[in-house]
């Protein structure tokens, strides 16, 4: 198997995701760029990509529409966002604390908040890996990048 076949080459946010403020759109674009730049993405039972991932929202569920670069349908997986709501809410709260601390706190306080922020992000990444288990195999770094994208889908700016 050639190197790089189990990876995403593009990620598209469907119109169902909706558009937001320029800041949010920028964060979404950065999250997609980071994900495409380095990832390991293997739809279970498929011979290899690279893959195109179209993300959409249907009834508050995230739909992963996976295709080959030639457009051949590989799979569609529907992921409930319910297990992520608390994690994303906690993540946003600690991010606010982090940005506030950067302006006024000591380096040790900033570092402590940042460690908490990373811990919550890791929890979300592990939850995402668990939810994708048996459908799509991703490494932890790819799960982190995908979780970042899930977070910016929630972010309204």
Is the pLDDT reported for residue 14 higher than 70? yes
Structure tokens at 157: 């700016």
Euclidean distance between CA atoms 84 and 136, whole angstroms? 18
- How high is the pLDDT of residue 4? 58
Residue 64 lies in a domain: yes
- Overall average pLDDT of the 7-12 stretch: 94
pLDDT tens readout for residues 18-46: 777 787 788 888 889 999 999 999 999 99
Is the pLDDT reported for residue 1 higher than 50? no
Q: Which SS3 state, helix, strand or coil, does residue 61 take?
A: strand
Q: Cβ–Cβ contacts within 10 Å for residue 56, how many? A: 17
Let me know: does 131 contact 123? Beta carbons within 8 Å.
Answer: no
- How high is the pLDDT of residue 148? 87
pLDDT tens readout for residues 101-155: 889 999 999 999 989 989 999 999 999 999 999 999 999 999 999 998 888 777 6
Residue 1 lies in a domain: no
Domains in the chain, number: 1
Residue 115's φ and ψ, nearest 5 degrees, are: -65, -40
Residue 79 lies in a domain: yes
- How high is the pLDDT of residue 156? 56
Q: Cβ–Cβ contacts within 10 Å for residue 139, how many? A: 15
Residue 3 lies in a domain: no
Euclidean distance between CA atoms 139 and 55, whole angstroms? 19
Structure tokens at 65: 């529409």
Euclidean distance between CA atoms 149 and 71, whole angstroms? 23
Q: Which SS3 state, helix, strand or coil, does residue 147 take?
A: helix
Residue 62 lies in a domain: yes
pLDDT tens readout for residues 76-103: 999 998 998 899 889 888 888 888 888 9
User: How do beta strands 51-58 and 8-13 pair?
Assistant: parallel
Residue 14 lies in a domain: yes
For residue 10, the cross-strand partners are: 52
Residue 116 lies in a domain: yes
The whole domain housing 46 covers 8-154
Residue 2 lies in a domain: no
């Amino acid at each position: 198997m050639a190197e790089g076949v189990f990876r995403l080459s593009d990620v598209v946010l469907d119109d169902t995701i909706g558009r937001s403020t320029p800041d949010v759109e920028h964060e979404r674009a950065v999250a997609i760029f980071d994900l495409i730049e380095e990832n390991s993405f293997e739809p279970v039972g498929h011979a290899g990509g690279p893959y195109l991932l179209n993300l959409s929202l249907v009834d508050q569920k995230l739909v992963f529409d996976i295709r080959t670069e030639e457009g051949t349908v590989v799979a569609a997986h529907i992921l409930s966002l319910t297990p992520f709501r608390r994690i994303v809410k906690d993540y946003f709260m600690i991010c606010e604390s982090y940005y506030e601390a950067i302006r006024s706190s000591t380096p040790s306080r900033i570092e402590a908040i940042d460690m908490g922020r990373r811990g919550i992000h890791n929890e979300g990444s592990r939850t995402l890996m668990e939810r994708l288990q048996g459908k799509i195999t991703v490494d932890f770094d790819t799960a982190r990048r995908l979780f970042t994208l899930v977070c910016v889908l929630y972010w309204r700016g």
